[in-house]
Structure 1
Amino acid sequence: MTGLSNIIEVFIRELLEKSNTGTIEIQRNEMAEQFECSPSQINYVLSTRFTPYKGYYIESRRGGGGYIRLIKVKIEKYSDLNETIMETIGKSITKSKAYHIIEGLREEGFLEKREEEIIKAAVGDRSISGSAESANKLRARILRNILLILAK
């Protein structure tokens, strides 16, 4: 199943790259037929690979003429980054969501691969211990501070 998810993800990313607006509309059922899978497989790919933490916004309309609109949110270089950092990270964040943010910033060109790996190490479970709640609060403070310094 992972192989199919990867293929669907690549297909969607290619559609986004070809789009001049960074927005695409897809018919979930048609895409499922194209890849010979269930519509829930398309939902899985969208919900796990195209998250807000990775810089995507998804709108959907159900019904016969329903569609899924996928929007790649572009952050203007450093202009909105501070606000985005504060709003997205908040006071607590899981490791998974933190990694998604970090990966999204690398994909957008804000971070190099080495910086990505260093930040992941700083906010990863091997660096932070304690209860899940306290670890997530500490992770959020560390990630916010690192990214705010990089945004200067």
Structure 2
Amino acid sequence: MDNRNMSDIIESYLKEILDQKNQIEIRRSEMADLFNCVPSQINYVINTRFTIHKGYKVESKRGGGGYIRILKINLLTSNDYLETMSEVIESDLTESEAHAILEQLYGNNLISAREFRLLVTIFDTKNLSTCEDLNKLRSQMMMGLLERLAYEELE
């Protein structure tokens, strides 16, 4: 018996398609019918599991002919990814967002497995607990990391 919840099943389905194509265009109501769930469940999955931090861009058009398009960010060069991430990181960065970015850096061979583990430890909330504004500090640290990686790419 499959113990995954509905969100996991929907995510897996969409990622399977995205493994074959770099983008998918869906209609929320059709997906809800396919999975026998409410359309808000589809929204939840898209909003939480297909974020820019996780390597996806989501576009949507509302109305009768509306759609949701999910694009897998295709990195032509690592600098493209680093630039995109630098643009979307605001002054606050949660631990889960930092982890998602680190997973993308590792998945795209911009950092090693050892570096990934070290950085996850550094960005962990329990290791930043003496700081007053954790998300701001985490954001500044990530920006520094991305700038350094971009600099190394140019060398």
TM band (smaller chain): 0.7 to 0.9
CA deviation digits over 1:39-60, x for unaligned, max 9?
Answer: 1111111000001111211111
Q: Of 9, 28, 34, which aligns to 1:7?
A: 9
Q: Say if 2:32 and 2:41, in contact at 8 Å, map to a contact too.
A: yes
Q: Percent identity?
A: 41
CA deviation digits over 1:58-96, x for unaligned, max 9?
Answer: 111222222111111122333324423432334432222
Q: 3-state DSSP class of the match of 1:64? A: coil
Normalised by the size of structure 1, how large is the TM-score?
0.83
Cross-structure match for 1:123: 123
- Change beyond 3 A, Cα 1:3–1:108: farther
Cross-structure match for 1:104: 104
Q: 3-state DSSP class of the match of 2:60? A: strand
- Change beyond 3 A, Cα 1:39–1:2: farther
Structure 1 gaps of 5+ residues are: none
Q: 3-state DSSP class of the match of 2:42? A: helix
Paired letter, 1:14: E
Residue 15 of structure 2 is aligned to residue 16 of structure 1: no
Which stretches of structure 1, 4 residues or more, deviate above 6 A after TM superposition?
A: none
| Mapping 1:51-66, distance limit 5 Å | 51-66=51-66
Q: Counterparts of 1:30 and 1:9 in 2: how far apart (Å)?
A: 15
Q: Say if 2:99 and 2:120, in contact at 8 Å, map to a contact too.
A: yes
Task: Kindly state the Cα deviation for residue 127 of structure 1 after the two structures are TM-superposed.
Answer: 1.2
Paired letter, 2:59: E
Q: Say if 2:60 and 2:66, in contact at 8 Å, map to a contact too.
A: yes
Cross-structure match for 1:36: 36
Q: Say if 1:23 and 1:72, in contact at 8 Å, map to a contact too.
A: yes
Query: For the aligned residues, what is the CA RMSD?
Result: 2.2
- Change beyond 3 A, Cα 1:31–1:113: farther
Q: 3-state DSSP class of the match of 1:110? A: coil
CA deviation digits over 1:112-132, x for unaligned, max 9?
Answer: 44433321110111111232x
Q: Say if 1:119 and 1:143, in contact at 8 Å, map to a contact too.
A: no
Paired letter, 1:55: G
Task: Kindly state the Cα deviation for residue 34 of structure 1 after the two structures are TM-superposed.
Answer: 0.9
